[in-house]
Chain A
Amino acid sequence: MFRFFPLPFFLLLVMSCGSEETLSDPQSSFDRQAMLVHWADNYILPAYADFTAEAALMDQSANAYGADRSADKLTKLRLDFASAYLAWQRLSPFMTGPGEALRLSEQFNIYPTDTARLAAQDRSDLALPSNLDVQGFPALDYLLHGTRDPAAYAESIQRLTSRIRSLSTQAQAQWTDGYRDTYVAASGNSATASVDRTVNDFIFYYEKYLRAGKVGIPAGVFAGQPLPQLAEAPYHGALSKRLFLEALATSSRFFSDGNSLGAYLDALGVSRDGTLLSTRISDGFAAARERALPLNDDLATQVSMDNTAMLQLYDALQANVILLKVDMLQALGINVDFVDADGD
């Protein structure tokens, strides 16, 4: 029976000699657990430690300012606010696990903030979902930089810095008291395993918070007209580009450095049109950075002055969404979210 079958195969082989595809032979299996250890120990845990420390400093400065509402104390508080906001950019892509359970992203960085309610010194429970837009860094940005006299809001400021400090301390404690080991142990390939979850959370972050939130929405990509009032940190007036660059650098490092997704792609021998996919994606991060560097320190100002440059930055970021979400996920066999259904 089998004697007859090599014939069509041979014909096909002859027919398809035109295909010039050469596949590099991948190395033996990539150690996904080692990648998880790298992520946990070199990114997530240090980012939590760093951010929690910054949040504690900011909270101390807020308390000091509450006790002595002097210009010096305000200057110190404003500096600590900026450092903590920057530290948040280094943590926010890694919300898998405790960060997600404690809803850190929603409570720390939802903007635009509701200035009317902040000005009225509304005292309702910050844990309520209806109060996401009167807390976190955007609210602090308004109270510290957008009001005529921050001293009048010192108690509100203390309340907000204390909440950030306590939530981040809780999340960090959960990571160090057991979650780190659970995370590293779940190295399988199911939708609930750590690699799939971390990658999905990372791409979600890159798409929603970095591409859309920091650039696309204020540039009016979604609405058709520029909306500078929707930029990040609009009251500070010189912080939003630094926040963006910090977030972009974190994403880029997470993808490229050490035992990373880029190394994983390389271990599988993934190249596209003769270029390693990892190189294409790293280049994409670099291209977005090149676009962002010449922009105004305040992205809201940039939108009002020359929105074309912002739209170009958006396009550069979008090019990497496609490479990450379509090409990388396909190559790694990771589902976009998880679809629980049969295939055939």
Chain B
Amino acid sequence: MRTETSAAPLVVFRTGFGLMMLLSIVRFWANGWIDKLYLQPGFFFSYRYFEWVKPLGEWTYVLFGAVGVAAICITVGYHYRLSMVAFFLGFTYIELMDKTTYLNHYYFVSLLSFLLIWIPIPAGFRAGLRRNGGTTNPLYGGAIMLFVAVVYFYAGLAKLNSDWLLRAQPLAIWLPANYSIPILGDWLQQRWVHVAFAWGGAAYDLAIPFLLLWRRTRVLGFLLVVLFHVLTRVLFPIGMFPYIMIVSATIFFGPAVHERILSLLARIEETIRRRFGGGAPPTTGRSQAPAFRLAWVPIVALLLFHLLFPFRYLNRPGELFWTENGYRFSWRVMLMEKAGIATFRVEDTGSDRRVQVDNRAFLTTFQEKQLATQPDFLLEYAHFLADHFRKQGFTRPRVYVDSYVALNGRLSQRYVDPATDLTTISIDSPPETWLLPFQDTIYGF
């Protein structure tokens, strides 16, 4: 009835995804970031409605360990669906523990792992080979392609704004800092290079999904993917993201390429089995995870969400870069250089006590940096301070903040009215209602 296609691309995707996730977890652990980001701080910034998600103390290591084990299982396809569910839940829990560490590529991983739960992918490396009859519905591969394509395309759309294209910001700030790179270093000081990078970056993001989709430009597209991501890796501290995107882009290749990769993987597996006496590998591979009959419901729902959610900023007033109301979860990457300073003052209505808060008594450097430029952080922290000083004997603490933010190389400007008592502002009030307005206009998406 339906046209089946080779499952090889899905098997390769599963293997690559699992491997990248495993490396990410190992790297995070090895850098000591579990301790630094989730154990040392005394306060954590929460996402609305997920305030109950907090680090687990020493058990946080166990959580990371479990997610790592799930990634290994995904790599080889052992209990694939169960592992994917465990990975999705564990990884997402980690990302919800502290808003400070939000990165678009973590969100990408959470969303993609949710999608993969519903896609049946055969176990091992042999099942994807044609001689073993590993076939699947082509729509599954298509769903992943659409998912990846939207990320690029939306990232490109977000770059179509006057700061990026006309002022070459924030690249004009970031690129010159790489003066010590051989050869490239001197170029990166040039104005025209900043502009070329900005326009090239936007064109790249918008064009890449189409270059990858069209068979005749696919190899060119993939080479561009590799070149672009390697370059961003050299220029910016963006961790595993470039590698994850390079691996994700392989989904666009046809079965022939993937079968060659799988043959290679199967041979490696065989060598390992022989060496360690693990017995003969299975010869028939149709151990396909069963497809849920209603799997298309969550898949379509997720893709619709993926397509629509980034546009939620459209019905909110104010400059998005300033209020950040709808900035996260929208594939807006590398668009802003925002720096700030926020000094909190707590006064007691009941007595004449007042203190100026040393943020470092409660927050890490990283948290303080994120706090200074994001309204939801400022508000959550202000409410936390009110609670804290109530416990210190203030009868009715009022919390004020003296704050300045500089956006994309503009002169720093007051962010919040220093006469506003932040305890009177509900945690759900949209930032545009209580922030001071942005004194400039940014045009475009």
Contact = CB atoms under 8 A, between A and B. Distances in A.
B103 A327 contact: no
A12 B339 contact: no
B409 A344 contact: no
Interface stretch (B59-67, B74-82, B89-97, B206-214): B206-214
A270 B236 contact: no
B355 A344 contact: no
A239 interface: no
B185 A18 contact: no
Given A19-B167, A341-B101, A336 B369 contact: yes
A21 B339 contact: no
A342 B185 contact: no
A344 B334 contact: yes
B411 A327 contact: yes
B341 A331 contact: no
A326 B404 contact: yes
B207 A337 contact: no
B25 to A, nearest CB: 13
A16 B333 contact: no
Contact of B177 (A9, A321, A325, A333): A333
Contacts of A18: 441, 443
Contacts of B101: 341
Interface string A2-41: 1001001100110110110101011011101000000000
Contacts of B409: 270, 330-331
Interface residues of B, number: 66
B48 interface: no
A29 B175 CA distance: 12
Contacts of A272: 410-411
A23 B180 contact: no
B51 interface: no
B207 A222 contact: no
B395 interface: no
A97 B178 CA distance: 24
A177 to B, nearest CB: 27
B189 interface: yes
Contacts of A223: 354-355
B366 A339 contact: yes
A127 interface: no
Interface string B100-133: 0101110000000000000000000000000000
Contacts of A331: 173, 409
Interface in B155-210: 160-162, 165-167, 172-174, 176-180, 185-186, 189-191, 199, 202-203, 206-207, 210
A273 interface: yes
Given A270-B409, A321-B341, 14 more contacts: A5-B203, A15-B444, A16-B161, A16-B162, A19-B167, A28-B186, A30-B189, A222-B355, A224-B355, A333-B173, A333-B174, A339-B369, A342-B241, A344-B241
7 contacts: A5-B206, A12-B165, A16-B165, A16-B166, A189-B180, A224-B352, A224-B355
Interface pairs A-B: 5 shortest CB-CB: A333-B177, A342-B239, A272-B411, A16-B162, A16-B443
